[in-house]
A and B are shown apart, each in its own frame.
Chain A
Amino acid sequence: GDSVTQMEGPVTLSEEAFLTINCTYTATGYPSLFWYVQYPGEGLQLLLKATKADDKGSNKGFEATYRKETTSFHLEKGSVQVSDSAVYFCALKNTGFQKLVFGTGTRLLVSP
C-alpha cells in the first residue's frame, strides 16, 4: 500500500540555519503530496502542497519540490526561526482515495 517515510528527529538547529527534512514516498499512480505542521498544543495545519511532478509548493519561506524520479518531497527553508519549532508531517493523497497517508513526523527544535 501507499506509505510515507520521513527522517527521524529531533532536528536541532540554531536560528538562521538552513533546514532540510527528508520525505520519500511509495505509491501507485500520481499522488498529491503535502507538508503539514503542528505547533505545540495545536492541531495540524497545511504548510504547503504539490499536486503533480516537478511542482514546487511554498509558504512562509518553506519550499518542497515534487520529484517523481526519486519519489521525494523534501522540505527546505533557507533560514529558520525559533518560531518554526514544531513537528512537521509529510503526507500523500492518492488518486481515487479521499484519505491522506502520513509519515511519522519530524520534530524541529530551533534555538536562539
Chain B
Amino acid sequence: DVKVTQSSRYLVKRTGEKVFLECVQDMDHENMFWYRQDPGLGLRLIYFSYDVKMKEKGDIPEGYSVSREKKERFSLILESASTNQTSMYLCASSLLGQGANTGELFFGEGSRLTVL
C-alpha cells in the first residue's frame, strides 16, 4: 500500500522555538509538497520540490523553509514559530509530468501544530 508518512500527528511548541515537520513517501515520486489547512481558507501551498535539493516557493512561504536531501524525504522547518503558524500541515507527493496519469496527489494524515 502506497504511503506518505508524517512523523508527528500532534505537536505543541512555544513561540520562538524551531520546529521540524518530517514527511517520507515510499512511491518514488519526484514531486513533494507542503500545504497548510485552515478553516475557511482551504489548502494553501507553502513550498514544493520536484527533485532532490530543488525547491520552489508556493503561495505562503514566509516564515518557513524546506529541505530535500533525499528523494523520499521532505522536511518543513519553522525557524522561529509564531502563534499564527498554528495550523494543520499536510504533506503530499505526486509523479512529475504532464500526462493524464499525473497530477494526483497522495497525502499524509497531517500534523496538527499548536504554537503557544
Contacts A32-B103, A89-B43, A98-B48 hold; do A43 and B98 have CB atoms under 8 A apart?
Answer: no
Set B4, B35, B96, B109: member contacting A98, Cβ < 8 A:
B96
Set B42, B58, B100, B107: member contacting A99, Cβ < 8 A:
B58
Contacts A43-B90, A99-B33, A102-B42 hold; do A34 and B103 have CB atoms under 8 A apart?
Answer: yes
B47 smallest CB distance to A (angstroms)? 10
Q: Does A69 contact B (CB under 8 A)?
A: no
Contacts A32-B100, A34-B104, A44-B107 hold; do A102 and B43 have CB atoms under 8 A apart?
Answer: yes
A44–B33 alpha-carbon span in the complex (Å): 13
Sorting the interface of chain B by its residue count into under 10, 10 to 19, 20 to 34 or 35 or more gives 20 to 34
**Which B residues between 20 and 76 are near A, CB-CB below 8 angstroms?**
31, 33, 35, 40-43, 45, 48, 50, 58
Could you count the A-B residue pairs with CB atoms below 8 Å apart for me: how many are there? 51
Q: Which residues on the A side are within 8 Å of B31 (C-beta)?
A: 98
**A103 pairs with B104, CB closer than 8 A:** no
Q: Which residues on the B side are within 8 Å of A81 (C-beta)?
A: none
Q: Which residues on the B side are within 8 Å of A43 (C-beta)?
A: 4, 90, 92, 107-110
Q: Does B116 contact A (CB under 8 A)?
A: no
What would 6 A/B residue contacts be, using CB atoms closer than 8 Å?
Answer: A32-B100, A44-B107, A89-B43, A98-B96, A99-B48, A102-B35
